[in-house]
Chains A and B, each alone.
Chain A
């Protein structure tokens, strides 16, 4: 974490609940994090742990209802995005905070060519004329590794392969040089060589423009290669966060430990059966009153069943929401501090 610098984005105590026919779903429970200029924050976590909902909540992209953002502050350039006007939020989206969505087919417009969808924000937000916008659009497609860019600008989304659509999404998000880029599983459909190329591009932009980046992914190899910091989500909460080297070297939360054990490799011996994290993900019908990982946790003891653990320091800039002290292999001796989690 760069010391002294002001965070580009500060999220504090964010809570999001869905009201559904089957009752409430507490998707995000008191999530707080800072993001610094030029920093790349990798976000990992189980399917359904609240990664996408957290990011959509903070820039007001969830339809309300069914979503209901119950609490929290999202500070960007001195303004709280949770309480600001809708016009301000619209202005922030794109040039302020860029977003790459998880599912390209739902966010690319099937009736417009890819070229049109790239040119529009360039004309609207960057003040380019049509010709300049066309040239820049072509350049962006080339940057994300799509061959024959000139011709492909005239194609519609369905004429692109799965991974190409993802790259078009990335190109669109980059049209406005955003200060903060939130990328929700932007490379799931990409093979490693193209992924490497995109990651180089992103690293470059981070350096040149000081762009701060949130990169959500299931690929721990990608995180290991590019992130400065990693944030691990489970059951709608941040269960661990810290410098990427620290967390991989000495994961403090049993969920993170289990996650790192399940990754297969292309090198070394091939395991006869893939290991999985046994048990079911938590049901999010109420705000957590106890640790949400307790039923799957090898370290769980009585306290874990009666209280939701706050975030304990596990090292410099590294913390974990767990009553078990992994480094000492014993329960935490620290006095219990009541945090946001407890009076949810």
Chain B
């Protein structure tokens, strides 16, 4: 269970990740894809923060920038009090073991020429002085933890099913006893029963080892299951952040409302009368976000002010943050143009 009395394990503040757009033979810099644009959140030790949002909104990029797999354009990322965003190579190498990532695509992230034992022990080779025998014992221990049969140790990735491959990725991520794991769509390609197995496994490991997760997913029903709090992302920014039950019972941001209403029911009868908020209007490009609120081109409740002024990300109820003019208190927005998101979570 998250311990709110300690300082948060992960503190992300004003994180920006821009990819340059170049043109012509001289690769002249003509603009930026603002994949992540001023994102701030905290994650407490032992907590799971779910990160949801539509395809291309910047979830994977956020994850990668936090772990410095990309060089962030701006912002601060502190893990266990240590600044990651500006750490040098040596510091970073020392930090690596405490933070791990389970990647979106298990197929592509496992080396097809290495055995399972080889893949799981790779981080041990790199970061520990364990003997060969100790390493093998640790590999077996990890395989037990994720429910993989030890006799599979010398097999190759293509001989496993999708669910088993995902477990190999999780075992490798656990090898160095990390405190914080970013899971990027860890279950998207699995059938529902195996999805449930993986989610139950992650929860069990969290209880046993006190792990902290950032769980990236577009599957709102699974996020509802695993997350303690949920952050909803749209076009590079977080538009709503709140405890799980609050988000699902009463979503505040019009985008969150539309997102939840669009989840199909596994029941053709219910499907017929499900009330869906259909989003129309252009999906803007992160290279050219609209003026005012990012969501103004598609928002069913759009007001004139939304085309002019960027809403602030602020706390509207204890623990509930939303970035929307509907909930903005008058005095903060009046005459305030494109207020920077200084409010911290």
Which residues of A have CB within 8 Å of B188?
188-189
Q: Is A151 an interface residue, CB under 8 A from the partner?
A: yes
Given contacts A192-B259, A266-B260, contact A162 B200 (CB under 8 A): no
CA–CA, A91 to B161, complex, Å? 32
Q: Is A270 an interface residue, CB under 8 A from the partner?
A: yes
Given contacts A47-B190, A189-B185, A263-B192, contact A148 B285 (CB under 8 A): yes
- How far is the CB of B280 from the nearest CB of chain A, in Å? 10
- How far is the CB of A65 from the nearest CB of chain B, in Å? 15
Q: Is B221 an interface residue, CB under 8 A from the partner?
A: yes
9-residue interface stretch from B122-130, B263-271, B313-321: B263-271
Which A residues between 77 and 113 are near B, CB-CB below 8 angstroms?
Answer: 102-103, 105-106
Contact A224 B218 (CB under 8 A): no
Given contacts A162-B104, A162-B185, A281-B161, contact A260 B191 (CB under 8 A): no
CA–CA, A102 to B188, complex, Å? 12
Contact A148 B288 (CB under 8 A): yes
Contact B163 A225 (CB under 8 A): no
Contact B266 A221 (CB under 8 A): yes
CA–CA, A76 to B19, complex, Å? 47
Q: How many residues on the B side are at the interface (Cβ–Cβ under 8 A)?
A: 59
CA–CA, A194 to B264, complex, Å? 12
Which B residues between 262 and 284 are near A, CB-CB below 8 angstroms?
Answer: 262-271, 276, 278-279, 282-284
Q: Is B193 an interface residue, CB under 8 A from the partner?
A: yes
Contact B221 A266 (CB under 8 A): yes
For A162, the closest partner residue in chain B by CB is: B104
- Residue of B60, B104, B221, B266 near A224 (CB, 8 A) is B266
Contact B193 A46 (CB under 8 A): yes
Contact A270 B162 (CB under 8 A): no
- How far is the CB of B148 from the nearest CB of chain A, in Å? 12
- Residue of A102, A185, A224, A276 near B271 (CB, 8 A) is A224
Chain A 312-338 interface mask (CB, 8 Å, partner B; 1/0): 000000000000000000000000000
- How far is the CB of B198 from the nearest CB of chain A, in Å? 10
- How far is the CB of A170 from the nearest CB of chain B, in Å? 12
Chain A 237-254 interface mask (CB, 8 Å, partner B; 1/0): 000000011001100000
Contact A259 B104 (CB under 8 A): no
CA–CA, A161 to B258, complex, Å? 22
For A275, the closest partner residue in chain B by CB is: B196
CA–CA, A326 to B207, complex, Å? 39
Q: Is B107 an interface residue, CB under 8 A from the partner?
A: yes
Contact A147 B285 (CB under 8 A): yes
Q: Is B54 an interface residue, CB under 8 A from the partner?
A: yes
- Residue of B105, B196, B265 near A267 (CB, 8 A) is B265
- How far is the CB of A106 from the nearest CB of chain B, in Å? 8
- Residue of B19, B218, B270 near A191 (CB, 8 A) is B218
Chain B 74-88 interface mask (CB, 8 Å, partner A; 1/0): 000000000000000
For B149, the closest partner residue in chain A by CB is: A280
CA–CA, A220 to B221, complex, Å? 12
Q: Is B25 an interface residue, CB under 8 A from the partner?
A: no
- How far is the CB of B294 from the nearest CB of chain A, in Å? 12
Given contacts A47-B190, A148-B285, A265-B221, contact A164 B262 (CB under 8 A): no
Contact B284 A147 (CB under 8 A): yes
Given contacts A162-B60, A192-B264, A248-B268, contact A47 B191 (CB under 8 A): yes
CA–CA, A47 to B159, complex, Å? 13
A interface residues (Cβ-Cβ under 8 A, vs B): 20, 22, 44-48, 102-103, 105-106, 145-148, 151, 159-164, 166-167, 185, 188-196, 218-225, 244-245, 248-249, 258-260, 262-267, 270-271, 273-277, 281
A/B interface sample: 6 pairs, CB < 8 A: A46-B194, A47-B161, A147-B285, A162-B60, A221-B265, A266-B260
Known: A146-B56, A164-B55; 11 extra A-B contacts, CB below 8 A, are A44-B191, A46-B193, A47-B191, A159-B19, A161-B55, A191-B259, A192-B218, A192-B263, A262-B196, A264-B225, A276-B200
